[in-house]
Amino acid sequence: MDKNVNKKNMEQKPLISVIVPIYKVEKYLSYCIESILKQSFTDFELLLIDDGSPDDCGV
């Protein structure tokens, strides 16, 4: 594999994925997201995974 191609792909994607499972956390979800977004490190993707929660946090 060409090292230059691999390096280019890595530069375009965030190195960190923050995965937040969401189930019955409606009243805490906004605080969780705000806390993650306030971090000094910003090269990440934030993935919110709705696990079929019965409350409105997946809406």
Is 49 within 8 Å of 22 (Cβ atoms)? yes
Amino acid 8: pLDDT: 56
Amino acid 57: pLDDT: 84
Question: The whole model's pTM is what?
Answer: 0.71
Amino acid 21: pLDDT: 94
Q: pLDDT tens digits, residue range 5-59?
A: 555 555 678 889 999 999 999 999 999 999 999 999 999 999 999 989 999 887 6
Would you kindly state where each structural domain of the chain is located, as residue ranges?
Answer: 14-58
Amino acid 15: pLDDT: 86
Nearest to 42 by CA among 22, 24, 19, 16: 16
